[in-house]
Structures are given as structure tokens and as C-alpha cells.
Amino acid sequence: MFLDELNPIFKELAQQPVAFLGGLVSGLLRLKLDEDPVRTWLDRQAGISTDSATPAKDNGKTSGPQPISID
């Protein structure tokens, strides 16, 4: 009865224990996975580069203030 309702939880725990426990802990601590430092740690674990030093394409535009003329 009650154990039948918990059966999917036990199956998920047995298949991926680290991911399950990580999700459980982050839920208990109410961590937001899209905010730093959790997001950067998750990106590093996934192998995604989050370097801000790489220059973005600016299509020939220069960075910084731009002059404007008002008539």
C-alpha cells in the first residue's frame, strides 16, 4: 500500500544514487540551480565552458560609448 507509492522513488535512487541524492539535498536546502555558485559548479561538471574572457562577436561594432547627434 504505502510502499507501492514509494517504489518509483526507490527505483530512481537505485539507478542514479548520486544524482538523486544531489537533487534531494538541493531541494531540502532550497538551492536555486540557475544561480551562482551552483550553476558554475554544474557547468564545470558537465564540461561547459563559462569563461567570460572569450570575446563575443560584435559584428564590427566597437565597445564603449557611442557618439550621437541630436538636432
The whole domain housing 37 covers: 2-46
Domain assignment present for 55? no
Q: Is the pLDDT of residue 15 over 80?
A: yes
In a domain, 37, yes or no: yes
Q: What is the pLDDT of residues 42-68, one digit of tens each?
A: 788 777 765 555 455 555 566 778 888
Structural domains counted in the chain: 1
Specify if 33 maps to a domain.
yes
To the nearest whole number, what is the mean pLDDT of the chain?
76
Contact assessment for residue 24 and residue 17, using Cβ atoms and an 8 Å cutoff: no
The arithmetic mean of pLDDT across residues 39-44, rounded, is 80
pLDDT at 23: 83
Residue 68 lies in a domain: no
Could you tell me if residue 15 is inside a domain? yes
Residue 60 lies in a domain: no
65 vs 20, 35, 37, 39, 70, CA distance in Å?
49, 30, 31, 31, 16
